[in-house]
Amino acid sequence: MRISDTLADGFCLSIEMFPPKTERGETSLRAHLERLNRYNPGFISCTYGAGGSTQSKTLEWCRWIQQDLNQTATAHFTCVGSTREELLRWLGRAQDAGIHNIMALRGDPPDGQADFKPVDGGLSYANELVSLIRRNYPDFGIGVAGYPEKHPEAPDVGTDLVNLKRKVDVGADAVYTQLFYVNESFLRWRDDCVAAGIEIPIVPGIMPITDFARINRITSMCGSEFPADLASRLEAVQDDQDAQFEIGVEFAIQQCRELIDAGVPGIHFYVLNKSKAAERILDALEFAPQP
């Protein structure tokens, strides 16, 4: 099933994971994904490490998702460190592995580089990657990233929106957003996307708060606004992991309810390879798990 198919019949839940570094982590992740798979997500996506460091692992996990979980997989794919020919070879491997969906991203600069610089013969922007995929593998479903609070490297919101429109115009099927914690920011940005002529589905990305220090680091890196009252509540219990978890889950439930009421076509959960928080949220939203 392709990304466009998962969104065609109404609301689509999707889950994002990353390849663990140890056998213990792999065993744990399989158990967590089996639990989340009971909620019948439209697909499970697997990230692609910095500098392409998990290329093979990404495909291995996508194969497992499709063959063992009997679930649609989406493979993340970036421009980092690869020539056009190397990118095309990887896409051929993905097709041979039975993968039908790609999350096409420029990727972050490798460690030690302040700015993104393509290798000789490589690509500089995500829209070039989308175009490469669409020209050479037209049957792939393609998701792209969107930034409700602006990409950290974009000079302004208008420029960032122009860049998103480029990705859409060359063949993206859906936009999946960076995490955010202020729904009003997402809804305003969604309106701006529609006004700019972006007509494909825009799916909000949600990362439940289970560890305030970790989320604080992530939001600082990506430039996402964090509500002051929520930060105060979490800081008051910074030595109590269970209390942080409860506050974070409660906030995510309310955030998702508001987004669903606002008519979003789905929710993309960044689960950080754990299932407990997402299960609690989905149960509260009355997503019935299958046996």
pLDDT band, residue 119 (cuts 50/70/90): confident
**pLDDT tens sequence across 9-27:** 889 999 999 999 999 999 9
Sign of CA dihedral 14, 269, 37, 23: positive
- Judge whether 45 lies within some domain: yes
- Judge whether 196 lies within some domain: yes
Is 34 a catalytic site residue?
no
- Judge whether 127 lies within some domain: yes
Task: Give the distance, in angstroms, between the CA of residue 60 and the centroid of all CA atoms in the same chain.
Answer: 18
- Judge whether 243 lies within some domain: no
Asked whether the predicted pLDDT for residue 113 surpasses 70, the reply is: no
- Number of domains making up the chain: 1
Considering only the C-alpha atoms of the chain, give the largest distance between any 2 of them, rounded to a whole number of Å. 53
Rounded Cα gap, residues 191 and 187, in angstroms: 6
- Judge whether 163 lies within some domain: yes
Q: Which of 16, 128, 149, 279 is catalytic?
A: 16
- Judge whether 55 lies within some domain: yes
142: domain range?
Answer: 3-211+251-284
CATH of the domain at 176: 3.20.20.220
- Judge whether 115 lies within some domain: yes
Which residues have a Cβ under 8 Å from the Cβ of 268 and sit 6 or more positions away? 14, 15, 16, 45, 176, 177, 203, 204, 205, 206
With H, G, I as helix, E, B as strand and everything else as coil, classify residue 13.
Answer: strand
- When pLDDT is averaged across residues 76-84 and rounded to a whole number, the result is 91
Asked whether the predicted pLDDT for residue 288 surpasses 90, the reply is: no
- Judge whether 205 lies within some domain: yes
**pLDDT tens sequence across 182-218:** 999 999 999 999 999 999 999 999 999 999 999 989 9
With H, G, I as helix, E, B as strand and everything else as coil, classify residue 26.
Answer: helix
Predicted local confidence at residue 157, as pLDDT: 93
Residue 147 to residues 45, 123, 231, 248: CA-CA distances in angstroms?
Answer: 18, 21, 21, 22
Asked whether the predicted pLDDT for residue 109 surpasses 80, the reply is: no
